[in-house]
Structure 1
Amino acid sequence: MAESTKPVIRVALAIPVKGTFDYSVPEQWAAQIRVGCRVVAPFRNRKVTGYILEVIQNAEAEGLKEIEEVLDSEPLFHADLVRFFSWSADYYLAPIGKFIQSALPGGLNTSTFTCCEITASGSKAIDLLAGNSEAGIGLAWIRDNPGKRVLPGLKKIIPLLHKNGWVAVGEKITKRRAGPLLKRFVRARQGAELNSILESFSGDLRTDAESEFLSHVCRSGEISLQEIRRRFPRGDYLCRKWVRKNVLEICKRPVLRDMAGNILCISTAPERLFEQQEKALNIIQGLLDKKRFSVCLLHGATGSGKTEVYYAAIKKALDEGRQAILMVPEIALSVYMEGIFRSRLGDRVAVYHSGLSAGERFDQWMRMARGDAGLVIGARSALFSPFPNLGLIIVDEEHDTSYKQEESPRYQARDAAVARGKIEKAVVVLGSATPSVQSYHNAVTGKYHLLAMPERVEQRPMPFIRIVDMRTLSGRDRKNPIMSPVLRKALAEHLSEGRQAMLFLNRRGFHRVHLCRFCGKSVRCPNCDLALIHHMKESRLACHYCGFRAEIRKTCPSCKKEGMILYGFGTERLETEVGECYPVARVERMDRDSTSGKGETFQILKRFAEGQVDFLVGTQMITKGYDFPNVTLVGVINADSTLGFPDFRAAERTFQLLSQVSGRAGRGIHEGEVVVQTFNPDHYAVVSARDHDYASFFERERQLREQLGYPPFSYMACLRVQGAGEKETEEIASRIGDGMQSILKKWARRGKEVQVLGPAEAPIAKLKGRYRRQILVKCKKAGLLHYFLGEVETMARRIMRSTGVSLILDVDPYQML
C-alpha cells in the first residue's frame, strides 16, 4: 500500500497530554480500524495506548507515524460518546485520553514496561566486570531474564549499559487484566443423533447413568462442564470417554460473570401511581415522546415515591427501544436500586461501578456497547456507559457531593449528565428531596422543568424532628456528649416496640484525636496537616487521606512527657457505646471501614432489611435514598460537623444531610421521629431542616450567594499549587498569582469581569507529603473563565518547568480543603 493512500486515524492517547494525534495505519490493520477501538501507537520514545476517535477519509498519510497494533476486534464506544468525551475534556480542562481511560473498565487499560536483552559485547563484558559491581550484577540479571520487566533497582544503570552497547533496550505492552470469561462446554458432534449413538455404542454403555448422561447432553444442545460435574458424579470421566470416541466435543465460549444475588428484596411495581406521581410522570413521558433534549428537576419529598416515577419513565424508554442511565451517588445505593430494578426488569439491567471486579466491569461494559442491556445503574462512572441509543438519564440524589470526582479527571457527573443529554437528544431527570441551590435556581428561572411532589405516598406524615441543644447538657452528659438523654430515651422506646433506628455520625474511627494533656498537641500525620484517627479494631492511629499508620503513644512527641490521651468520638466508638447502653440490641456499623470488602455493603443492608439489625450506625452512607419501612427513629449525633467547613456550600450540605437522614424515618405504617443534636440550634440550615422548609432555606441561601457572587451567580475554578518544599511552593504560587493579575491587566475592561482570590494556604496545608496553596477564580461567563484558565495554564507551565511543583485545575470545585 502506498504511503499516501494509507488510512489515517485520529487518536486520543492515554497520557496526561492534551489534544489528539493523527497516525497512519499499516495494511495488516486497515480492516480492523473503527471508532472506539484501542490501538498501540508510538509517542516520542515509547509505546502508548490510544483510542480511535475518527477515521479520516482522503487524508495525507505521508510523514505520519504508524500505529503498531489494533487491540480490539469490536468497538468499546460509539461516535456520539466521542463527542461527549470531547466536551468533558474541553470543559474540565483535562486530556481527553485520560478521560476515556478513566471511563473504561480498568482491566482494559494497558501499560508498557522496559525490557532488555544482552548483546554479544555485553556477554563479554560480564567476564571483565567485577561480579559484585552494579553493572556486572545488572548484566547478569538481564542475561538470565531476557525480555522480562527490568527490576526497579536496576533501572538507574540501564542508560549506562545501553550507552556502552551491552544491552538492547525495548518496551513491551502488558496484557489486559480483563476480558471475556471463557468456559468449557460439552456438546454432541455435528450430525450425531441420540438414537444412533445409543444403537452404535450399546456395548460401551455400562450403566443406565451413562445412557442418561448422553441423553442429557444431546437434549441440552450444549452444557457447561461445571453443570456436568454437578449433575453426574463421574462427569469428567464420561466426558473424556465420549470425546475420545468422537461422539462429543468440548468447546470454549465467553459467558457473563455471575452478577446475581444483589436483590435485597423482591420488588413489584404498584398497580397505580398517586396523583402527584402521575403528574410528574406525564410530563417526563411527554418529553420522551418528543425525542428532544430537556431537563427536569424532580423535587420530591423523602418518601414521595420518586423511584416509582423513575421506573415508569425507564420502562417507557426501554419499551421504545432506547436505553437509560440511572445514576446514584454511592455504590451502596446502587446495590439497593439494583435489587428493585432487577426484580422487575431482569437481565435488561446492567450495573457499573468501582465495586465490581475488572472482569465484571468488562462484561457489563460490553453488554451495554452491544445493546444487550437497556438500563445501567451505577455511581458517577455509569455516566460514560456506551449505549448506542440513549434516551433517558436519571440522576438520583442530584444534590450529592459524591457526584464530583476529586481525582483527575475532575468532573461533576450531574452537570456532565446534562451535557450528554444535550449531545444525544436525551431527557435528563434530576431528582432530590433537597435539590442543589444551583439546580433549583435553574428550575425557578425556567432553564429546567420543575416537577414538584411535596407529599409522602399514602399521605404519610413527615417525621417529627426534635432539636437537642447540646450546650444545655450538664454533669456526666456534658463530659461525654455522644448521646443526649433525649436520644437515649428514644432509642430505648423504639427498641422495646420492636422497631429499628439509624444513628448518623459523619466521622469514622473510635477516637478522633490522640493528644497530650500537658502541652495540648496532637499526634499528626507526617505526610498531611491532619491529626491521626484512632481505630479500635486495629488498635492503631491512621490518616484517612494518605493511609499512614502509627502506634498509640505513651510519650508526647513534642514535650516528651507521658500524658497522652485519646479524645473525641467516631462511628466505631458510637457503635460500642450503643451496644453497651442496650445489651439486647443488635447493632451494626456501616462506613468505609466496615464495607471495604466486596459484598459487605450488600450484606449489611440485607441484614438490616430483614430485621436482623436493630440499630444501624453509620456515616453519610446511610443518609441516601433507602426505604426501610420499620425504621421509625433517626438520631443525628452531631449536626455541626459540616457547618464549620471553610466552604460557601457548608450550610447547604448541612441542610441536605439533616433532611436526607431524617427522611429515612417513618416510611412505613408508623410515624417517624428524629433527634438532632447540635451546638447551633438557631442556624438557618438547622431550623429549615427541622421545619421541612426547603423554600425558606433556598431563598436565604440564594440571597447570600448573590451578594457574594458565588454559584449559581458565577462560575468558579480552584487552582491548586502543590510541591514537596514549603517555601518553593509558596514562591511558585505567588508568581502564578502575579502572572494571573498581569493577564487581567492586559485584558483591560474584559479583565474586570474575572475575580482572582489568592494565592493563600489551603485549609489542609499539607496533604500526602505535598504543600498546598490555592487560588480561586470567579467569573459570570463560563466561556471567558475557560479562556482565562487556558492562558493561565500555559503561563503556569512555564513558571513550574523543572521545579517539581505541579498545578491542579479544578473547574466547578466542590471540595476546597
Structure 2
Amino acid sequence: MKETFFYAIPDNLLSKAEVGRRVSVPFRNRKVIGYILEKRHGDQEEGLKEILEVMDEEPLFTEGLVPFFRWMSDYYLYPVGRFIQSALPGGLNAQPFKTGQITEKGLQALKRLSENSQERSLLSWAKENPGKRLPSPLDMAYTLQKKGWLTIESRTRKRRVGPLIRKFVRAKEGLDLQSVFQVEDSSIRAKNETEFLQTVFNSDGVLLKELSAQFSNGAYLVNKWIRKGALEKYGAPVVRNLAGEVMFPSLVPSQLYDQQKAVLGEIEDRLKKRRFSTCLLYGITGSGKTEVYYRAVEEAIQQGRRALLLVPEIALVVYMEGIFRSRLGNRVAIYHSGLSEGERYDQWVRTVRGEVDLVIGARSALFSPLPKLGLIIVDEEHDFSYKQEEGPRYQARDAAVVRGKLEKALVILGSGTPSVQSFHHTTTERYQLLSMPERIEKRSLPEVQIVDMKAISQGEPGNGIISPILRAALEKTLTEGKQTILFLNRRGFNRVYLCRSCGQPIRCTNCDVALIYHLRENRLACHYCGFRSQPENRCATCGHEGMKAYGFGTERLEQELREAIPDSRIARIDRDSTRRKGQTFLILKRFSEHEIDIMVGTQMITKGYDFPEVTLVGVLAADLSLGFPDFRAGERTFQILSQVAGRAGRGDQKGKVIVQTFNPEHYAIVTARDHDYASFFQMETALRGQLGYPPFSYLACLKIQGNNSDTTANMAQRLGQGITGVLERWPRRGREIQVLGPAEAPLAKLKGKYRWQILIKCKGAELLHYFLREIDALTRKMLRGSGVSLIVDVDPYQML
C-alpha cells in the first residue's frame, strides 16, 4: 500500500496517539496495523474513521525520521509502511498476514487440475499448511477465492520481544545498615554476612544473579533478610549485555599529524555552522582516518548533538565499538543484524530515549532514531555491502547523505579507495574533497608484486594453488615471526563437481548454479539458497560414473597450507567458519594477539582492520571479480585489491603484497599494484562515459520472477512491449530514456524462481522516477493474477 490515510483520534486516545507509535485501525472490511506519521490539531474532518487502539507506550521512532522515511519510500518506490516495518527491530512489529483455508469446492478442484498448474500448487500448499502465511504474491490466492476454492483470513502475529525483566534485591525503604546491625546483630552468623549486607545497602539494587555468584550462600542470605523485613525483591528491565570486552582499546595518540589536523579543522568548522554538507574523506589505508572519525564524533557530542557511524561489516562494528567505547564510555550503542531480536530492541529503545551519543552499526543502523543528529560518518563508503539486495533495495551510503540533508547534519564519507560515484561528485563540487595522502609516521605503502599464473605450470587441476613465489614469501614471513593474510574470495573446498564425460556440473535444484563442495560437512551446498546434498558419483545428465571435483576455495586453501607448512598456526575467516555468534570476534582477537600466523579469508578480511604485525598479504585469483556481468567489475576489483593490500605494513616493518592473476595487464590490477587511484578513476570514467553508465546516468532494473518458466518468459516479453509502448508516446523526452531487454537474468533460476530483467537507463534521476511511476499502473494491471512478480531496483548493484 503506497498511500497514507487520515483517521480521527477518539478523546480517550488523544494523549497516547503520538507520532512514532503503532495503531490498530479499521481499513475497508478488516483491522490493520499502521504507524502515526503526522498529527494534526484542530477541527477533524467529517466522516473519518476512528483509531481503535494505540499499541505502544512510547514512540518507536522520532518525528524527525518521518520525512526521511517518506523520501526513501518515494525514491526507492517501496511502500512507506513496509519501509518503516523493515527499519524497526525484528520481533517488535505486530505483523498482519493472510492465511488460506481450502474449501470443499477447492478439494474437488484439486483432483482434476493438472500437475503443473499454478492453481493446483497453491491449493496443495493451503491444504498442507493451514493457518500459515500465504506465499506472495497474493493475486493467485484472490483468484481462487473468487472461484470459491479458497477462503482468505486476516490474522496478526503479536510482537515477539520487549524489555528483559530481571530480579533485583534492595534494602527496604527507610532502613539503613547501621540500624540493622543494632537490631539484628545476634542474627549475623555467617562469616560473609556483614559483607553481603554492605553490598546490598550500599547500592540502589543488586541483581539477584550477581549476589548468588558473589556469595556462595547468597540465595539463603537473601531469603533470610527478606523474612526479617530488611530486604525486598523486585523486577526491573535490564539492557541485554552485548558489549563484551574491548578488542582494541584506543588510547589518545601523543600527537596528531599535519594532514589529520588540516582535515579536522575543516570538519570542525563545518560542524560549528550546523548546516548540511557532504565531505569525501579520501585517506589511503593506514592514514589515520579512524582517529579523525573519533575527534569529529567528540566535537559533535560537545556541541550537544549526536552521531551515527556506519561500517559495511558486522565484524567491523565490533572492532569500531571497542575503539570508541574505550574512550567515550557506555553512551555508545551498536546495531546490526547479528544481534538477537532482544538485543536490537534494547539498543533501539536506548537510542530513541536519548540515552546514547553515538550509534555504530552496519547498513540497518541508518534508521537509528537518534534525536539531534549532527554527524553521519560512512566508513569504507565504497563498499558494495551498503546496497540492500532484499526487501527495500536502498543504498545506505546515498541514503545517509539524504538523511544528513533533512536533519542539517554533516556527512563524512570515508575511504582509501573512493567509489567512482562519490569521487565524481567532488569534481562537480557536490561533495567537498578532504585528502590524507600519507600513512601515519610516514610509513611507506607496501610493495606489490604481480604473479602471472599463465606462466606458472600447475599440471593437473588440484595440484597446488600457491605459487612458488608466494610460498617462499610465506616461509620467510614465518621465519621473521610476522603474520600473513591470504585473500581468496571463494568459500568452500572445491568450486564444482563436473562429469568427465559430458562436462555438466551437479546443479542446485532451486537455482541455476553449480553446487560447491565443503569438505568439513562432506556436502555439496548452494551459496544462494542454502540447498545441500551428498556428493554423487553418477552424472544426472548422462548417467556416466566418475564425477570429479575442480577448482578451489578458502577451505581447500586452508587444508593445503596445513599440509605444506604444518608448524604454522592457521585460521580461516569466512561465512562458513563464523556462523556461530561471536566467532568472528574471537578469530580477530586471536589474530591481534599473534596467536595465529596465517589468516585465510574472503572479503571479510579486506576491511579496515589494523594488524601491525602483518607484513605479507597474498591475493589468490585476483581476477575473480572481473568475471562478473557488471559494469562495476573493474571498480570492485581495484577496490578489493587495494583494500586487502592496505592490511600489510601498518607497523614498523614495510609490507609486501603478492597478487596471483591470469590478467596481469588489466588496468584495475595494474593501477592497484601502483597505488594509483587517479589513473584508475580517469580510465574507469572514460569507459563509463562512452557507454553511458553511472555516474553519467541513472539506472533502474525491473526484475521479473515466477514459478513457471514459460509464464515468466511470456510475461517479461509482454512487459517489455508495454514499457516500450509508453516510451513511444513520449516523442520528446523519450530520447533521454533507454530500455534494454527484456533478457533472461545471468542466474536464470534462483531460489526456485525463474528470472528475467529489463534495464532502464536515463540521464536524469527525476525523469527516471517520473517514467517508473508512469509504467507502475501498467505493470500492476498486467501482473494481476499471473503468478509473476516484479521487483523495481533503483540504482541496482547486483546484475545477476
Q: TM-score, normalised by structure 1?
A: 0.90
| 1:426-447 deviation per Cα after TM superposition (whole angstroms, max 9, x unaligned) | 0000111110110000012211
Shift of 1:741: 1.3
Are 1:673 and 2:665 an aligned pair? Answer: no
Q: State how far apart, in whole Å, the 1-side matches of 2:747 and 2:362 are.
A: 27
Q: State how far apart, in whole Å, the 2-side matches of 1:48 and 1:465 are.
A: 60
Which one-letter code corresponds to 2:416 in the other structure? Answer: A
CA contact (8 A) 1:262 1:602 kept: no
Q: State how far apart, in whole Å, the 2-side matches of 1:480 and 1:208 are.
A: 69
Q: State how far apart, in whole Å, the 2-side matches of 1:658 and 1:113 are.
A: 46
Q: State how far apart, in whole Å, the 2-side matches of 1:251 and 1:209 are.
A: 23
Are 1:63 and 2:47 an aligned pair? Answer: yes
In structure 2, do the counterparts of structure 1 residues 272 and 775 end up closer, same or farther at CA, with 3 Å as the change threshold?
same
SS in 2 for 1:21: coil
SS in 2 for 1:747: coil
Are 1:698 and 2:675 an aligned pair? Answer: no
Q: Equivalent residue for 1:76? A: 60
Q: State how far apart, in whole Å, the 1-side matches of 2:155 and 2:687 are.
A: 57
CA contact (8 A) 2:482 2:615 kept: yes
Shift of 1:244: 3.0
Which one-letter code corresponds to 2:129 in the other structure? Answer: P
SS in 1 for 2:251: coil
Segment drifting more, 194-203 vs 66-75 = 194-203
Aligned match for 2:74, one of 71, 80, 90: 90
Alignment of 1:652-667 (within 5 A): 652-667=635-650
Aligned match for 2:210, one of 214, 227, 252: 227
Are 1:554 and 2:537 an aligned pair? Answer: yes
Q: Equivalent residue for 1:768? A: 751
CA contact (8 A) 1:326 1:376 kept: yes
Shift of 1:479: 6.2
SS in 1 for 2:605: helix
Shift of 1:475: 5.1
Are 1:283 and 2:266 an aligned pair? Answer: yes
Segments of structure 2 that go 5 or more residues without pairing to the other structure are 101-126, 135-141
In structure 2, do the counterparts of structure 1 residues 240 and 174 end up closer, same or farther at CA, with 3 Å as the change threshold?
farther
CA contact (8 A) 1:524 1:530 kept: yes
Are 1:602 and 2:585 an aligned pair? Answer: yes
Are 1:100 and 2:87 an aligned pair? Answer: no
| 1:263-305 deviation per Cα after TM superposition (whole angstroms, max 9, x unaligned) | 2122112122111111111111111011000000011111111
Are 1:37 and 2:21 an aligned pair? Answer: yes
In structure 2, do the counterparts of structure 1 residues 400 and 243 end up closer, same or farther at CA, with 3 Å as the change threshold?
same
Shift of 1:478: 7.5
In structure 2, do the counterparts of structure 1 residues 676 and 240 end up closer, same or farther at CA, with 3 Å as the change threshold?
same
Aligned match for 2:632, one of 649, 653, 664: 649
| 1:577-609 deviation per Cα after TM superposition (whole angstroms, max 9, x unaligned) | 111111011111101111111101100100110
In structure 2, do the counterparts of structure 1 residues 336 and 229 end up closer, same or farther at CA, with 3 Å as the change threshold?
same
Shift of 1:205: 3.9
Shift of 1:188: 1.8
Q: Equivalent residue for 1:152? A: 129
Q: Equivalent residue for 2:386? A: 403
CA contact (8 A) 2:99 2:133 kept: no
Q: State how far apart, in whole Å, the 1-side matches of 2:131 and 2:205 are.
A: 52
CA contact (8 A) 1:262 1:338 kept: no
In structure 2, do the counterparts of structure 1 residues 151 and 771 end up closer, same or farther at CA, with 3 Å as the change threshold?
closer
Are 1:312 and 2:289 an aligned pair? Answer: no
Segment drifting more, 743-752 vs 33-42 = 33-42
SS in 2 for 1:748: coil
Which one-letter code corresponds to 1:248 in the other structure? Answer: L
Q: Equivalent residue for 2:512? A: 529
Q: Equivalent residue for 1:754? A: 737
Segment drifting more, 262-271 vs 533-542 = 262-271
| 1:690-734 deviation per Cα after TM superposition (whole angstroms, max 9, x unaligned) | 110000010011111111111011111100111111111111111
Shift of 1:344: 1.2
Q: State how far apart, in whole Å, the 2-side matches of 1:503 and 1:42 are.
A: 59
Q: State how far apart, in whole Å, the 1-side matches of 2:732 and 2:97 are.
A: 52
Shift of 1:176: 2.1
Which one-letter code corresponds to 1:278 in the other structure? Answer: K
In structure 2, do the counterparts of structure 1 residues 174 and 748 end up closer, same or farther at CA, with 3 Å as the change threshold?
same
Are 1:24 and 2:15 an aligned pair? Answer: no
Q: Equivalent residue for 2:722? A: 739
Segments of structure 1 that go 5 or more residues without pairing to the other structure are 1-16, 117-149
Are 1:385 and 2:362 an aligned pair? Answer: no
Q: State how far apart, in whole Å, the 2-side matches of 1:457 and 1:475 are.
A: 41
In structure 2, do the counterparts of structure 1 residues 804 and 606 end up closer, same or farther at CA, with 3 Å as the change threshold?
same
Alignment of 1:538-549 (within 5 A): 538-549=521-532
Which one-letter code corresponds to 1:445 in the other structure? Answer: T
Are 1:296 and 2:279 an aligned pair? Answer: yes
In structure 2, do the counterparts of structure 1 residues 170 and 416 end up closer, same or farther at CA, with 3 Å as the change threshold?
closer
Aligned match for 2:599, one of 604, 610, 616: 616
In structure 2, do the counterparts of structure 1 residues 651 and 221 end up closer, same or farther at CA, with 3 Å as the change threshold?
closer
Q: State how far apart, in whole Å, the 2-side matches of 1:28 and 1:735 are.
A: 53
CA contact (8 A) 1:421 1:427 kept: yes
Alignment of 1:694-733 (within 5 A): 694-733=677-716
Q: Equivalent residue for 2:487? A: 504
Q: State how far apart, in whole Å, the 2-side matches of 1:710 and 1:598 are.
A: 40
Segment drifting more, 60-69 vs 625-634 = 60-69
In structure 2, do the counterparts of structure 1 residues 114 and 783 end up closer, same or farther at CA, with 3 Å as the change threshold?
closer
In structure 2, do the counterparts of structure 1 residues 761 and 622 end up closer, same or farther at CA, with 3 Å as the change threshold?
same
Are 1:441 and 2:424 an aligned pair? Answer: yes
CA contact (8 A) 1:633 1:672 kept: yes
Q: State how far apart, in whole Å, the 1-side matches of 2:730 and 2:451 are.
A: 54
SS in 2 for 1:451: strand
Q: State how far apart, in whole Å, the 1-side matches of 2:252 and 2:465 are.
A: 41
SS in 2 for 1:22: coil
| 1:218-237 deviation per Cα after TM superposition (whole angstroms, max 9, x unaligned) | 22232221222123322222
Q: Equivalent residue for 1:456? A: 439
Q: State how far apart, in whole Å, the 1-side matches of 2:165 and 2:763 are.
A: 54
Q: State how far apart, in whole Å, the 2-side matches of 1:45 and 1:521 are.
A: 54
Which one-letter code corresponds to 1:767 in the other structure? Answer: L
CA contact (8 A) 2:98 2:133 kept: no
Segment drifting more, 211-220 vs 386-395 = 211-220
Segment drifting more, 378-387 vs 63-72 = 63-72
CA contact (8 A) 1:511 1:568 kept: yes
Segment drifting more, 541-550 vs 37-46 = 37-46
SS in 2 for 1:108: coil
In structure 2, do the counterparts of structure 1 residues 229 and 172 end up closer, same or farther at CA, with 3 Å as the change threshold?
farther
Which one-letter code corresponds to 1:604 in the other structure? Answer: I
CA contact (8 A) 2:332 2:359 kept: yes
Q: Equivalent residue for 2:786? A: 803
CA contact (8 A) 1:393 1:421 kept: yes
Shift of 1:191: 1.5
Q: State how far apart, in whole Å, the 2-side matches of 1:672 and 1:170 are.
A: 64
CA contact (8 A) 1:26 1:67 kept: yes
Q: Equivalent residue for 1:813? A: 796
Q: State how far apart, in whole Å, the 2-side matches of 1:636 and 1:59 are.
A: 68
SS in 2 for 1:538: coil
Alignment of 1:680-695 (within 5 A): 680-695=663-678
Q: State how far apart, in whole Å, the 1-side matches of 2:576 and 2:227 are.
A: 53
Q: State how far apart, in whole Å, the 1-side matches of 2:133 and 2:434 are.
A: 63
Count matched residues: 763
Which one-letter code corresponds to 1:25 in the other structure? Answer: I
